[in-house]
Structure formats: C-alpha cells, structure tokens
Chain A
Amino acid sequence: MFAYIARRALQSVLVMASVAFVAFALFQYMGDPINQMVAQDASAAEREALRRVLGLDRPFYVQFLVFLKNIATGNFGFSFRVGSPVAQIIAERLPATLELVFVAAMFALFIGVPAGVYTGLHRHGAMSRFMLTISLIGVSLPTFLIGILLILIFAVLLGWLPSFGRGQTVQLGFWSTGFLTTSGLKALILPSITLGLFQTTLIMRLVRSEMLEVLRTDYIKFARARGLTNRAINFGHALKNTLVPVITIAGLQIGGLIAFAIITETVFQWPGMGFLFITAIQFVDVPVMSSYLVLVALFFVIINLIVDLLYFAVDPRLRVERSVSAH
C-alpha cells in the first residue's frame, strides 16, 4: 500500500512538471505581454528596457528553469498585469471559485441523486420520461447560453437576482465568503445553476442507470423474496450500492466544475480563478497563466489520487485485477 502511494506520488510530480513545461512552452506563442503594458506610442527602447526588467529577454529554457525553481519554493512570481504576487492574487480568488464550485456541486447532488432514483424506480412513468427529456435538453445547451438566458430572465426581466459579481462578502481571516450575507447568497444562485446544470444531468443519469443495474441483481431479488418493504429495498439496499460509483464520478466531476467555472465566471463577472485565467490570457500575463494551470493540475492529481485510494479501499476486486494485469 505504501509503495503504491509513493509510486503514485512520484508519477504525480512528473505529471505536474510536464504540465508546467507544456504550459510554459505554449505561452511563448501567445503574444507579447509588453504590448499590453506600455502606452501605444512607447518607443522601441522603452519596450526593450521593460523586456529586460521582466526577464523576457533571456532564453526560453532559462525562463523555464527560473519558473520551476520559483514554484518549487512556493514563489509563483508576480503578475505582469496586477503587479502583486501571483500567490496572493490566487489566494484572493480561490474562495470565490471554491464557493461557487461547492454550491454547484451541492445543487448537482441534491437535485441529481433524487431525480436519478425516481427515474430509476419509475422507468416507464410519464414523469420520468419528462425529466429525462428535460435533462437531455440541459446537456444539449451550451453553458454560456444558459447563463445569458438566466440573466435575461431573472435579472433583467424579473429583477429578482443580481446579474454579476459576488454581492456583499465577509472576510473571515484570509477567506472571503459570500455565505453570510443575503446579497452574497442571492449572487450565488444563477452562477451555480449555470455551472451545476450539466453535472446535475450527468449524476441523475448515472444514478438512474446504476439503480437499474442494481435492481436486477440477485440480492435485491432475494430481499424482495424475503418480503422487505419496497422502501427498505430501494433506499436501504439499492441506493446504498449505487452510491460508490456516484461519489467517485462526482469527485472527478469537481475537476470539470473548476474548469467550466472559466465560462460561468466570464458570463457573471465572478471574481474567481477562471475569470482571472481568462483575463490573464488576454493580457498575456504568463506568471498567472502558468500558476493557474499548475494549480489546477495539482487539484486534479490530488482528486485523482484520492479517488484511486477510495477504489482501493472500497472494492477489493480491483486489487486483484491490478496484480493480474501487472504480469
């Protein structure tokens, strides 16, 4: 077990390093940050001087090694655009994105699981079909269009909810939260629906198909034969057994949520990491872009590792399979 974790950790470090390299390499082609930083009529000498100050005149591999050395020591550099340390900017933006992702994930779970159970139990019911069709329309609409339409309806036409930003936030130590004020909570509603809709549908369909599978298994049939109530069978046995894959998939989907937050945050001017990333692309703010990618890679590697260990712990069959395939 320990050897396995150690091996995975080593692989993760390799993954991170290659992500950093790829990210850094491709930013060389994204345009010249200098153009964004000087006045339109700055002279060539002024541009060159700034290039030197930023270290952009050094060869590519030197820039990369400096970057690697810096992140290894926890120094993410300074944003070309904002001028403050990247670590500090990310610390400011992280709470916004994580709260959004958290609410979206909760939304997806608390709507998705019951809906999945219902449609699994009532396979041929009209309501089930209706829910499935709605869910299909949900996955067939691009996220940005959903966001704009929600704004149009709930902010512009009805005036119920804010169209942008986080509302009033409260500072708890380094963490700024929108959970403690009404305006903060209201501001969370539209973005998290936009972000969570796709995952809701996914979880619903997953729970449904898992339910269908489990309900056919022998032990459920046996439980029925024993005369247990439907309720006990459906929720006590069937649902419980569907939850393992659902939780793992949901865990992996958190990664997807963080990535798709780029689009949601752009539409709702949500001051989080995704929005930071998109602005960084426009400004060719290389330190921010590469730090974001490395950080996201770290998130994913960790989530992946946890999911893997969960599998390992939950399903003994996998241990056997791994050892077989290693021959």
Chain B
Amino acid sequence: MKTWRNLKDLIRRFAGSDVFFSFKRSPTVVAAFLLTLIFLVAAVFAPWIVPHNTYDVASLNLMDARLPPAWIEGGRATYLLGTDEQGRDVFSTIILGSRVSLLVGFASVILALTLGVALGLIAGYVGGVTDTVIMRVADVKLSFPAILIVLLIDGVARGVMPRDLHDKAAVYVIVLAIGFSAWIQYARTVRGLTLVEKNKEYVQAARVIGLHPILIMFRHVLPNVTGPVLVIATLGLGIAVLTESTLSFLGVGVPPTEPSLGTLIRIGNNFLFSGEWWMAIFPGIFLVLLVLSVNLLGDWLRDALNPKLR
C-alpha cells in the first residue's frame, strides 16, 4: 500500500516536473520514445508475434528463397518484406534480429555501467593509489579503440572455448567484449562527480557520524550521479548495437543461424548489387530507426537534465 502511494507520488512528481514538460514539448522526442517502446515490446514478445519462426530450420523451404516484398511482382502476402537466401521471412528475421541486437546492447551497457560506476565511485571516493591504478588502466583502455579490444577479446574466447560452446556463448562473449571496452566513460564521469560530491557538507556529515564508506558511496553519492550516467548509457546503447553490427561485418559476430540486425545487413550486403535490395535495406532501415530513436532520447535527456541549458 505504502509503495503504491510512493509510486503514485513519484508519477505525479514526474508529470509535473520540468523533465516531463520538455518531453511533452518536443514531438520528435515523443516519436522517438514511442518507437523505442515499440522496438522493446516487439523484441520482448518476438517469439509470439513473428509470422514465421525462422529459428526452426525444419520449417524453412529453400524454394521460397529470395522472394521480393509482398507489394512487388513475385512477392507473396505471407512474406511481407520478402525472404532471404535461405527462404527466411525477412520481417521475422528483423524482429528476431532486433531482439538479439537489443539484448547485446542492453546487456553490454549494463555491464559497462556497473563496472564503470563502481570503479568510478571507488576511484573518486577512496583516492590515492587505488585511484591512480584505476585511472591509469582507464587511460590505457581509452587509448585503445573499442573495436580492436572487442576483436581481441573475441579472439581469445574463440581460442579457449571449445567450438560448439563458443557458438552458444557467442552472444555473451560479444556482450562481455563490448561492455568491457566501454566502461571508462562511466568511470571517468562518475569519478569526477564523486570528487565534487565528496567535499560537500552532507557527505562530510555522514562521515562524521561514522557511516560505512560503502554505504556513503552508494546511498549518498550515487544518487547524485545518476543523471549523467543515464545519458551515457542511452548513447552507449546505440553505439553497442552498431559495434555488434560492425563485428558481424568482420565475421566475428553472432552466429548466422540466429542473426542480429548487423548480421542480416552483412548477409544482405552481398545481394545489394544484384537487385535483391530488400535483404540489406530493410534490416538497415530498422537498425537506423532503432539507433536513431535511442540517440534522440539520449540527446534530449542530456539537454533536459542540464539545468544550464534550459
């Protein structure tokens, strides 16, 4: 009962807030929000809403391969956006593919965020040698392009794991690799903010009354850094989805039997010149829409949370 009241209170406060006001004011942002929501819902419920289950290889018919979209001559109504090289329904592969892409995106962002925020908090709050070590490691990582780090991590994983295990685990390896290459931004930001918060009176006070440093860090410092972290996370989601697609292009992405949007584009790429454009262009459009709306949300969030810009 109490939580319910708290929630209602929270919603009321949010609805009356400046953030919500600026949200309502921009139709682009509302559109981006709705689009992201649709993507999320479609991804979560993908197995129940796709017209064809393209993961079930027995149901595929090679004879239906490379059919154009339904509205073009030769297309069939059951395959709205056409079929690919193996007779998979493009629309279904896109929905299932964005599920994979979003899974990779969210999981790697959560990983990077957890790692980055924790290390940033510790570096900023504890200081000293701990700080130097963490920030030096961050420097090295920052200086190394993410795509190379991901290639290296994936290479090692392929080496140490038996082959069939790697195929099963490919998605997680990529999540690990992308997440591991992206934590620095969080760490740097959080560290900077922590340094500022640390010297504020309320933290000093908490310290005086003898609260445990971990408690202080998470209960008092953390809430004050959520805004910027949220912004980085939103933009990071788009980057993670793109990085995964680039890896697929280089041939180290998720296995083609359960393709992501990036893998779909890579495969479709081969058919771009031959006039079978739908295999690359539709996944391409969906990828752009997805990343675009996430980026728009991130942009808006950054401006909205920055009081100086209002």
Contact = CB atoms under 8 A, between A and B. Distances in A.
Interface of A: 11, 15, 19, 22-23, 25-30, 132-133, 136-137, 139-145, 148, 152, 156, 209, 212-213, 216, 252, 255-256, 258-260, 262-263, 266, 278, 293, 296-297, 300-301, 303-304, 308, 321, 325-327
Contacts of A141: 284, 287-288
B242 A142 contact: yes
A293 B148 contact: yes
Contacts of A28: 159
Interface in B243-268: 245-246, 249-250, 262, 265-266
B35 to A, nearest CB: 12
Contacts of B299: 132, 136
Contacts of A256: 145
A258 B202 CA distance: 46
Interface centre among B146, B148, B195, B249 (most CB of A within 10 A): B148
A257 to B, nearest CB: 9
Contacts of A152: 272-273
Size range of the interface on B? 35 or more
Interface stretch (B3-11, B12-20, B135-143): B135-143
Contacts of B131: 325
B291 A140 contact: yes
Closest 6 CB pairs of A and B: A29-B159, A259-B145, A300-B143, A140-B291, A304-B143, A26-B156
A199 B262 CA distance: 21
Interface of B: 28, 127-128, 131-132, 136, 139-140, 142-148, 152, 155-156, 158-160, 195, 238, 242, 245-246, 249-250, 262, 265-266, 269, 272-273, 280, 284, 287-288, 290-292, 295-296, 299, 302, 308-309
A148 B296 contact: no
Given A216-B308, A304-B139, A260 B292 contact: no
Nearest to B302: A209
Contact of A325 (B140, B195, B292): B195
A266 B251 CA distance: 12
Contact of B245 (A136, A142, A252, A327): A142
14 contacts: A26-B152, A26-B159, A29-B156, A140-B238, A142-B245, A145-B280, A263-B250, A278-B250, A293-B148, A296-B148, A300-B143, A304-B143, A308-B139, A325-B128
A42 B287 CA distance: 46
Contacts of B159: 26, 28-30
A177 B265 CA distance: 34
A70 to B, nearest CB: 21
Contacts of B155: 26-27, 29-30
Nearest to B32: A136
A308 B246 CA distance: 30
B262 to A, nearest CB: 7
B307 to A, nearest CB: 11
Given A29-B159, A144-B249, A136 B145 contact: no
A24 B168 CA distance: 26
A140 B158 contact: no
A15 B144 CA distance: 11
Contact of B147 (A11, A209, A262, A321): A262
User: Considering residues A28, A144, A152, A308, which has the most beta carbons from chain B within 10 angstroms of its beta carbon?
Assistant: A144
B287 A297 contact: no
B309 A23 contact: no
A258 B269 contact: no
Contact of B308 (A26, A213, A304): A213
A136 B35 CA distance: 15
Contacts of B290: 140
Nearest to A292: B148
Nearest to A256: B145
A116 B131 CA distance: 34
Given A136-B292, A325-B195, A144 B246 contact: yes
A144 B280 CA distance: 12
Given A26-B155, A325-B128, 18 more contacts: A22-B156, A26-B152, A30-B155, A132-B299, A140-B287, A140-B291, A141-B288, A142-B249, A143-B246, A212-B309, A213-B308, A216-B308, A258-B145, A259-B148, A260-B147, A266-B250, A297-B144, A326-B128
